[in-house]
């Protein structure tokens, strides 16, 4: 685990700022997709917020996979199945982190949509580091 954390931290020192900006742009589109899905599910469908977060995350995931594969990391030569599988594994880990932060914020009294927005922002660096190091790394 310490090796992975050091790798994630090292990612930001290895000349990846432009790639991180592209990651944030694509992630921003996924973020908006997530919140546009999450808010109505919680507010109007009265769905439990943790379930709504999972559904919204899946919607944002599809959008982000396409953007990251074709623009952020530009790794179109690799197998889409292999990349997609690795991206799914990273996303599942990041989703767990998001749900933990979301739960903490909601229990602390933060409104659910705002809590989701904050939680997604908090887990973004983790997502970038793991995706750059593993899911979309040149093989």
More confident residue, 128 or 16: 128
User: pLDDT grade, residue 10 (50/70/90)?
Assistant: low
Tell how many helices (H) and how many strands (E) occur in the chain: 5, 0
Boundaries of every domain in the chain: 17-135
At a CB cut-off of 8 Å and minimum separation 6, what does 108 contact?
A: none
- Number of C-alpha atoms within 13 angstroms, CB side, residue 67? 19
pLDDT tens, position by position, 45-71? 999 999 999 999 899 988 888 898 888
At a CB cut-off of 8 Å and minimum separation 6, what does 80 contact?
A: 69
Q: Give the pLDDT of residue 136.
A: 81
Q: Mean pLDDT lowest for which of 45-49, 71-75, 76-80?
A: 76-80
The pTM assigned to this predicted structure is: 0.74
């Amino acid at each position: 685990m310490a090796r992975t954390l050091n790798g994630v931290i090292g990612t930001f020192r290895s000349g990846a700022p432009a790639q991180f900006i592209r990651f944030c742009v694509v992630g921003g589109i996924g973020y908006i997709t997530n919140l546009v899905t999450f808010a109505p599910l919680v507010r109007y469908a009265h769905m439990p917020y943790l379930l709504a977060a999972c559904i919204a995350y899946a919607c944002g995931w599809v959008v982000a996979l396409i953007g990251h594969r074709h623009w952020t990391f530009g790794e179109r030569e690799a197998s889409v199945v292999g990349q997609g599988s690795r991206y799914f594994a990273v996303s599942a880990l990041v989703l767990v982190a998001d749900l933990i932060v979301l739960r903490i914020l909601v229990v602390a009294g933060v409104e659910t949509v705002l809590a989701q927005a904050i939680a997604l922002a908090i887990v973004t660096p983790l997502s970038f580091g793991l995706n750059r190091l593993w899911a979309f790394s040149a093989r």
